[in-house]
């Protein structure tokens, strides 16, 4: 059976042979493309695995994955009077407690978000009962799963995840929750890592430079020069002797030179190379790539008490909300029963109330305004603050006695003046 793979390009052909000494297999950049990576202009191989070795990338992925996974997932029935939470539904149990016998719902959504934010696609297989009801949800690796077209044009998914010996299996589209990021074709999401490989390559190169610098105790590269001529074997012996005497824990020992030898520094200093400035720039640049506030990944240069709350609110509205909307829509499409051409009365929603509360003073001020204004009962306020209900006597709305309908004032008839005739 011939299957058409969607959204994937064939491996890039390399013009220079690998037996060229300039393309040694000792360099991951020359063979790492086999794992889906691309070499950046900085000479660093970038793929989803090497990108995670960049501290800021790993921090951004953790912030996004843990933020989404920590949100309560709720199943509601929509009625004319509002929403009713379905606590006894099997779907609610899968989404809120345990999607399968091996993991919690937190782990499922954390894994899904990690895949989605890093590769641009998140896949979850739906295990169904004979009657079609969802029984379990299993995350699939985006590196081992791709959407395909069957010969009859039907969309399906091909995966080797969980199969022995690299064998593949075909899953029906209805049995795969697929959440893509921004996409060219509306089906396969674009990988943020591949789109920003130059910025990530710069960050990886800067981290390696810093690691090598401090591994050498911040001693710059040196050259030993002389007006005398040495045979190649003498040069090699001199290099070995120098490294043995002045590397590792012996780096700061005094050097004694003869035969008109001199030491010259070859490399620039970290200040000359703007090492620290580069680290700050790449950290902010990667945070912008994932739309994560810089202070959440340790970039605190422009942080102040006045803008922290606004930045946290912006993170929920501008960063998390698009992710949540994508996931909610796909969960509703694949998990909730519906009739053809009709909107289901059931809906799945992530509850972001906790993330939008702000500080305690703002919470109490908002609760007081709702209570005095008459749109919150006493028990509504207690629930919003995380307390239990206090009894039915608080299930009442307050009405300010000094307020009344403006139409009543305008349309109220003027009082009739009574004239008393005292004439006899």
Other residues' Cβ atoms within 10 Å of the Cβ of residue 262? 10
- Residue 29 belongs to a domain: no
Q: What pLDDT does residue 255 have?
A: 63
Residues 93 and 198 in one domain: yes
Domain count, the chain: 3
Residues 350 and 380 in one domain: no
- Residue 421 belongs to a domain: no
Residues 195 and 48 in one domain: yes
Residues 7 and 150 in one domain: yes
Spatial strand order in the sheet of 134-140: 134-140, 121-128, 176-180
- Residue 415 belongs to a domain: no
Domain coverage including residue 244: 221-266
Residue 59's H or E segment, with its range, is helix 55-69
- Residue 344 belongs to a domain: yes
- Residue 142 belongs to a domain: yes
Residues 15 and 95 in one domain: yes
- Residue 103 belongs to a domain: yes
Residues 362 and 349 in one domain: no
DSSP letter at 320? I
β-partners of residue 50 are none
Q: Any residues with CB less than 8 A from the CB of 353 and at least 6 apart, and which?
A: 384
Residues 134 and 206 in one domain: yes
Residues 397 and 385 in one domain: yes
Which of 356, 373, 392 terminates a domain? The answer is 356
- Angle at which helix 55-69 crosses helix 275-289, to 10 degrees, equals 30
Q: What pLDDT does residue 112 have?
A: 98
| Angle at CA of residue 296, ends 321 and 138, nearest 5° | 50
Distance of CA 370 to the CA centre of its chain: 34
Residues 313 and 389 in one domain: no
Q: What pLDDT does residue 318 have?
A: 93
Residues 346 and 372 in one domain: no
Q: What pLDDT does residue 309 have?
A: 75
Output the CA–CA distances (angstroms, integers) from residue 185 to 256, 326, 362, in the order listed.
67, 16, 44
Residues 332 and 390 in one domain: no
- Residue 225 belongs to a domain: yes
What tokens were used for 2?
Answer: 């011939």
Q: What pLDDT does residue 127 have?
A: 96
- Residue 367 belongs to a domain: yes
pLDDT tens digits for the chain (424 residues)?
556 556 554 444 444 444 554 455 555 555 454 455 556 666 678 888 888 888 889 999 999 999 999 999 999 998 887 889 999 999 999 999 999 999 999 999 999 999 999 999 999 999 999 999 999 999 999 999 999 999 999 999 999 988 777 789 999 999 999 999 999 998 999 999 888 888 888 777 777 766 666 665 555 566 777 777 778 887 787 777 767 665 555 555 666 666 677 777 656 555 545 666 777 778 888 889 999 998 888 877 766 666 777 888 889 999 999 999 999 999 999 999 876 667 778 999 999 988 877 667 777 888 888 888 888 888 888 888 778 888 888 888 887 777 766 666 667 655 555 555 555 4
What DSSP line would sit under 191-251, residue for residue? PHHHHTHHHHHHHHHHHHHHHHHHHTTTPPPEEEE-SS---HHHHHHHHHHHHHHHSGGGT
Q: Any residues with CB less than 8 A from the CB of 379 and at least 6 apart, and which?
A: 389, 390, 394, 395
- Angle at which helix 55-69 crosses helix 197-215, to 10 degrees, equals 120
Residues 144 and 228 in one domain: no
């Amino acid at each position: 059976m011939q299957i058409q793979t969607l959204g994937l390009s064939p491996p890039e052909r390399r013009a220079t042979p690998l037996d060229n000494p300039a393309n040694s297999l000792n360099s991951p950049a020359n063979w790492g493309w086999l794992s889906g990576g691309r070499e950046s202009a900085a000479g660093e191989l970038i793929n989803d695995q090497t990108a995670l070795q960049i501290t800021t990338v790993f921090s951004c992925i953790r912030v996004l994955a843990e933020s989404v996974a920590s949100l309560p997932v709720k199943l509601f029935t929509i009625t004319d009077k509002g929403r009713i939470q379905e606590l006894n539904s099997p779907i609610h149990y899968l989404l809120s407690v345990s999607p399968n016998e091996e993991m919690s719902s937190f782990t499922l959504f954390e894994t899904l978000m990690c895949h989605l934010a890093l590769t641009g696609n998140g896949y979850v297989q739906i295990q169904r009962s004979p009657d079609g009801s969802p029984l379990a949800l299993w995350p699939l690796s985006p590196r081992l799963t791709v959407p395909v077209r069957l010969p009859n044009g039907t969309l399906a998914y091909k995966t080797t995840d969980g199969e022995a010996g690299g064998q593949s299996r075909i899953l029906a589209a209805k049995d795969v929750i697929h959440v893509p990021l921004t996409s060219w074709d509306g089906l396969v999401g674009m990988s943020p890592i591949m789109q920003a490989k130059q910025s990530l390559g710069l960050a990886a190169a800067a981290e390696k430079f810093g690691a090598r610098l401090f591994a050498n105790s911040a001693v710059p590269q040196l050259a030993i020069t002389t007006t005398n001529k040495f045979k190649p074997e003498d040069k090699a012996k001199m290099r070995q002797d120098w490294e043995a005497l002045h590397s590792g824990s012996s780096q700061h020992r005094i050097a004694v030179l003869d035969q008109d030898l001199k030491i010259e520094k070859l490399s620039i200093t970290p200040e000359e190379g703007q090492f620290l400035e580069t680290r700050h720039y790449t950290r902010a640049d990667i945070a912008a790539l994932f739309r994560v506030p810089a202070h959440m990944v340790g970039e605190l240069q422009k942080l102040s008490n006045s803008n922290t709350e606004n930045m946290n609110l912006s993170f929920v509205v501008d960063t998390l909300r698009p992710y949540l909307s994508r996931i909610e829509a796909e969960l509703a499409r694949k998990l909730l029963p519906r009739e053809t051409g009709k909107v289901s009365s059931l809906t799945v929603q992530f509850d972001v109330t906790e993330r939008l509360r702000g500080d305690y003073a703002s919470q109490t001020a908002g609760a007081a305004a709702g209570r005095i204004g008459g749109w919150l009962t006493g028990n509504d306020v207690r629930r919003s603050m995380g307390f239990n209900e206090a009894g039915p006597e608080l299930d009442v709305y307050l009405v300010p006695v000094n307020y009344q309908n403006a139409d009543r004032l305008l349309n109220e008839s003027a009082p009739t003046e009574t004239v008393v005739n005292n004439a006899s």
